[in-house]
Amino acid sequence: MIVRILVSGIDLMSAIRNLMTKFDVKISIAMVGLANSGKTEFVKRILQTNEFIEASVSNTTEFELQILDNFTLLTWDLDDHIPQKKTLWKRSILGANALLFLVDSTNRESFQQNRKLIKDLVDKNFPIRLLVLGSKSDLPNSASVGELMTSLGLMDLDKTKCDVDLFKFSSKTGEGLYAIEEWLNRILFKRRERVINYTKVIACITLCEESGAINEAVLSDSPNLTLLATLRELKRKVTIFSRTMRVHGSGEEVIEIANFKIPIVKEHRHIVALVVGPHDSVPRALEISRNVLKIISPYCDKSINLAKIIRDLYPLDATY
């Protein structure tokens, strides 16, 4: 077994990593899945570093462990069965605070095998709380959430034994990572969800990939210098995002500038960056961005009234 211990020099932008180091309690997250399901890429993406100290502890190759302060991340390569009897499995994987099961959403031939593994896991280890993740959502042949639900038999699992959620994500484009963060937040820290987490939409910037046209709307009644400087910086970031995302049909990323949270979403050849408050719900902001994208996608000029679109769609998120 290789134990990799993280050292300094880490990019602080990873929300999930920040979440893990924010708390004093010891947290362990386990990630299991067939080989090639995307576990290693996911670990790299959320920890955002390649600087590991490697230490040989045993000769098992299926199990990897990464430690960062109080946070432990375990990954396990599954084959055709759940290694139920192994002490290491019981102690580390079933003993973890959260269990993620990765499935390559483009590999339909593996769905049946994954279905069997998930059922086995739930049947033998209840009560269990599981997050199934369909990886590689950036690839064109990636199965939809509905297809994954059905093919993996998630609806058929005994609800008294398990609590299962399913998200799609991509380590390449960052899509879905914030939904995963919210799930972890809820599971690990038992945060109550409000019925709707309204956000305070402060401003919005859109970019049309074809023409490069940038549209800007300030919704706040009292835009101060910090906000104006943020928007200037954001225009630069959105242009860079557009360049790096050119090869991908869709993608998302959440950045922070001057205490504002800013989800940036790309879909339908448009990019939307929504400036919200530091304590606002990112999933809600992402939902707003996606709906704005749907509305503006047929247009590629500055004549659209972006502020009006947001106010009409989400009056309670854009009230001042």
Ligand X SMILES: Nc1nc2c(ncn2[C@@H]2O[C@H](COP(=O)(O)OP(=O)(O)O)[C@@H](O)[C@H]2O)c(=O)[nH]1
171 binding partner (options ligand X, Mg ion, none; Cβ < 5 to 8 Å by kind): ligand X
Write the DSSP assignment of 244-286 as a string of letters.
HTTT-S-EEEEEEETTEEEEEEEETTEEEEEEE-TTS-HHHHH
Interacting positions 119-138 with ligand X (CB under 6 A): 135-136, 138
Q: In what order do the strands lie in the sheet with 128-135?
A: 52-56, 2-6, 63-68, 71-78, 27-34, 98-104, 128-135, 162-168
33 binding partner (options Mg ion, ligand X, none; Cβ < 5 to 8 Å by kind): ligand X
Tell me the sheet residues that pair with 261: 256, 276
Under rule CB under 6 A, residue 139 binds ligand X:
yes
Under rule CB under 6 A, residue 79 binds ligand X:
no
Among 110, 171, 206, 281, binds ligand X (CB under 6 A): 171
Collapsing DSSP to helix, strand or coil, 110 comes out as helix
Would you call 116 exposed, middle or buried from its count of C-beta atoms within 10 A (0-12, 13-18, 19+)?
A: middle
User: Count of residues binding ligand X (CB under 6 A)?
Assistant: 15
Under rule CB under 6 A, residue 249 binds ligand X:
no
Cite the beta strand spans of 84-228 per DSSP E. 98-104, 128-135, 162-168, 201-208, 214-218
Longest dimension (CA), the chain: 64
Under rule CB under 6 A, residue 60 binds ligand X:
no
How far apart are the C-alpha atoms of 160 and 103, rounded to whole Å? 23
Closer Cβ to ligand X, 103 or 309, answer by number: 103
Closer Cβ to Mg ion, 53 or 229, answer by number: 53
Find the shortest distance in angstroms from Cβ 165 to ligand X. 19
Find the shortest distance in angstroms from Cβ 252 to Mg ion. 24
Closer Cβ to Mg ion, 62 or 147, answer by number: 62
Under rule CB under 6 A, residue 261 binds ligand X:
no
Interacting positions 40-59 with ligand X (CB under 6 A): 40-41
Closer Cβ to ligand X, 42 or 260, answer by number: 42
* Nearest by Cα to 263 from 249, 280, 246: 280
Among 17, 119, 172, 266, binds ligand X (CB under 6 A): 172
Find the shortest distance in angstroms from Cβ 313 to ligand X. 30
Is the N-terminal amide bond of 263 cis, ω within 30° of 0? Answer: no
**Phi, psi dihedrals of residue 3, rounded to the nearest 5°:** -100, 125
Half-sphere exposure of residue 22: CA atoms within 13 angstroms, side-chain side = 12
36 binding partner (options ligand X, Mg ion, none; Cβ < 5 to 8 Å by kind): ligand X
Under rule CB under 6 A, residue 142 binds ligand X:
no
Under rule CB under 6 A, residue 66 binds ligand X:
no
How far apart are the C-alpha atoms of 110 and 103, rounded to whole Å? 8
Under rule CB under 6 A, residue 39 binds ligand X:
yes
49 binding partner (options ligand X, Mg ion, none; Cβ < 5 to 8 Å by kind): none
Collapsing DSSP to helix, strand or coil, 301 comes out as coil
Under rule CB under 6 A, residue 295 binds ligand X:
no
Query: What's the CA dihedral at 47, 53, 56, 62 to 10 degrees?
Result: 20
Find the shortest distance in angstroms from Cβ 104 to Mg ion. 12
Closer Cβ to ligand X, 173 or 242, answer by number: 173
Under rule CB under 6 A, residue 62 binds ligand X:
no
* Residues contributing to the site for Mg ion (CB under 5 A): 39-40
**What residues make contact with ligand X under the rule CB under 6 A?**
33, 35-41, 135-136, 138-139, 170-172
